[in-house]
Amino acid sequence: MFRRPSLRLITLLAFLCAAAGAGYGCKQSGPVPPTEVPDGMVWIAPNGESEGFFMDATETTVAEFRAFVEATNFVTEAEEFGWSGVFNRDSLNWLPVDSATWDQPLGPVPGPDSLVQNAAPAAAPANTPVTQVSMRDVQAYLKWAGKELPTEKEWMHAASQSGKYGDFPWGTEMVPDGKFPGNWWQGPFPFNDEVLDGFPGIAPVKSFPPAENGLYDISGNVWEWTASKAPDGTYIIKGGSFLCSTSYCTGFNLKQRQTTPADSGLNHLGFRGIIRPSK
């Protein structure tokens, strides 16, 4: 079901696209026709600052990560630690929650005295982005899948529609035509989420329309790991999450970034992979 791509085919297609411009069914911007790309990916055309590459159309899902775990018996860092970070809507703070993992990102189903709000069912839906994964976990999955993490520069190239937009993947207005194009916190964070986008937490992938180049949820829903490091050695994450608001992190704006340690596992942090045909 989750087929790893053929690098030979990808390299050939990239060569043909470069040699023939828009010929051979290739486009210089936007997605390559589905018959010419790996399953679930889109072609990000090159520009003067970035070579072209294939990028996952969606954030890596729970179902995709489960296939990796079942195939390899991989154990995540959160599972080894026995806990992970969960944002608590009652205490309005991040808390260490025992047994919070990629398949139970808020922890087990809570009892009557639990501080975790709205945690049932415990199992993460298969079509939502996988979270509670550290950099080690992400790299292990991507190696198995034949992919890599994008650098911050590559991520920005893709999210900005090859430099077309500076603020949001869909243009200059945060909410064009009064319709929310992504999943983030509406209202004063962390006190009141008005849920105007329809999702009080993580949304299933493809819940909102794709950007012009075919990417879904590149802004909002969950933060995304990049391969780029900050000067202090932490990793840069991009895109914002369902916990970002106009009064808080505004991470859904392309100009924003945050950093996090390599061993971080949080219930609002995921990833997507890329394939560089030139490698």
Rg (alpha carbons) of the chain, rounded to whole number: 19
Output phi, psi for 68, to 5 deg: -65, -50
Does residue 39 lie in a domain region? no
Task: Please give the tally of structural domains in the chain.
Answer: 1
Does residue 182 lie in a domain region? yes
Q: Which helix (H) or strand (E) holds 138?
A: helix 135-145
Instruction: Between 243 and 103, name the one with better pLDDT.
Output: 103
Given this model, what pLDDT does residue 279 score? Answer: 60
Does residue 249 lie in a domain region? yes
Task: Give the domain range for residue 255.
Answer: 60-273
Question: What is the rounded distance in angstroms from the CA atom of residue 196 to the CA atom of residue 186?
Answer: 6
- DSSP helix/strand/coil, 96: strand
Does residue 20 lie in a domain region? no
**The token pair that represents 70 in the structure block:** 């079942």
Which CATH number does the domain housing residue 65 bear? 3.90.1580.10
Question: What is the rounded distance in angstroms from the CA atom of residue 265 to the CA atom of residue 132?
Answer: 4
Question: What is the rounded distance in angstroms from the CA atom of residue 141 to the CA atom of residue 69?
Answer: 8
> pLDDT tens-digit profile of 129-158?
999 999 999 999 999 999 999 999 999 999
Cα angle 79-84-87, degrees, rounded to a multiple of 5: 150
Does residue 279 lie in a domain region? no
Note whether 105 and 77 are within 8 A (CB).
Answer: no
Does residue 1 lie in a domain region? no
Other C-beta atoms lying within 10 Å of the C-beta of residue 30: 16
Question: What is the rounded distance in angstroms from the CA atom of residue 172 to the CA atom of residue 155?
Answer: 18
> pLDDT tens-digit profile of 212-249?
999 999 988 999 999 999 999 999 999 988 888 777 77
Does residue 244 lie in a domain region? yes
Given this model, what pLDDT does residue 48 score? Answer: 76
Residue reference for tokens 């018959």: 35
Does residue 81 lie in a domain region? yes
Question: What is the rounded distance in angstroms from the CA atom of residue 154 to the CA atom of residue 161?
Answer: 11
Banded pLDDT at 60 (limits 50, 70, 90)? very high
